[in-house]
Amino acid sequence: MTKARDLADLGSTATRLDTVGASSGALSNRNIIVNGGMTIAQRSTQSTNAGSGYITVDRFNHELKNATDNLTYTTEQVTDAPSGFSKSLKLTVTTAESALAADEFGRMYYVVEGQDLQRIGYGTSACKEVTLSFYVKSSITGNFSASIYLTASGGVIAAQAYTINSADTWERKILTFPTYTTANVPNTNAAGMYINFGLFAGSNYNTASSTFVAHTGANLLGGQAANFAAVNSTTWQLTGVQLEVGSATDFEHEPYSLTLAKAQRYYYSWVSSGLTDNIFIRSPYATGTPPNSSASAAYTFPVTMRANPTITTTYNFSRFTASIHNAVAQIGTTSAGNAYAATEWQADAEL
């Protein structure tokens, strides 16, 4: 190969690198979102009467505000997805809301730790714009809202509308949000940003604002006109969610194992794969009538969790506590030869 050809190839490579990474400064770790491809669903892959809270796919939360008189819907992880993706999050109305009141809204939202936002430079003159991109599909068309709420300055928000143009068709949306130089979000593991996807919004919540303004509630789902909740069997789907510094690039796919490890920082679900996999505790006394005694067992998490998690399990241990590194189960007993085993438990350190 000639030197001229070598130089040409290097130039071509540099051009491709600039195209992919110019806005972010890196080819990997551009995407601030964890599980934007909806591939991880530790809690469940389907819930038939969804409400508020983390329900199916990891890191994406639901909230219904005052919409409890009629509305029910399912939420599930499905294989219907745009080209290049294997999963999406799908919501389906099973009982429609009879009327949308001014004080009602429904949203999907994602929370980002403050320390993961420092690259943006909020609160400085060097603050950069961020771009939110995602794939969306719905059985209804119209204007939906996406907003970003920052915990800086007591709470500020910017909200804008995007349009679903064709029913039952995957469409990619790209929204750029402005800089905010007044104050930074905390450089800690606490919430620094909420990314909101509107499903429906009463008039108290749908005022659009293209710049960051003080959050009073009115701009939460600014620009939302479409009403997901109005008709039975309405669907809304989401995948390929990416938030990055600068302009939009292609979605950053990563190995399943890496996405799972990132998600387990916030939530870890453990289910026994068999007897040898159980958390097993045995009374320290094999025979006789022992005094009050206790025994414990520890389990080390696969990753360091965001904060000390809340532990839930169906087994009634005397204590089941945890740090960011491990969980400790303890039993107290006055019996000899007893054995105890937990076959499932969950550690929750979500924002």
Say how far apart CA 160 and CA 145 lie, in whole Å: 6
Q: How far is CA 51 from CA 73, 106, 269, 306, in A?
A: 8, 10, 21, 25
Say how far apart CA 129 and CA 38 lie, in whole Å: 25
CA 221 to chain centre: 18
- What does the pLDDT read at residue 332? 74
Q: How many CB atoms lie within 10 A of CB 43?
A: 16
> Which two three-digit tokens encode residue 237?
């789907």
pTM over 0.85: yes
Mean pLDDT per 10-residue run, the chain (351 residues)? 46 40 62 98 90 94 84 95 98 92 96 98 98 98 98 96 98 98 97 98 95 96 97 98 98 98 97 73 61 75 97 85 93 69 90 97
- What does the pLDDT read at residue 68? 63
Q: State the CATH architecture for 27-255.
A: Sandwich (2.60)
Say how far apart CA 264 and CA 303 lie, in whole Å: 7
**Dihedral angle at the C-alpha atoms of 174, 175, 181, 184, nearest 10 degrees?**
-80
With beta carbons less than 8 A apart as the criterion, state whether 85 and 172 touch: no
- What does the pLDDT read at residue 25? 47
Element (DSSP H or E) covering residue 345:
strand 344-348
- What does the pLDDT read at residue 98? 78
Residue limits of CATH 2.60.120.260 in the chain: 27-255
- What does the pLDDT read at residue 335? 67
Q: How many CB atoms lie within 10 A of CB 4?
A: 8
CA 290 to chain centre: 49
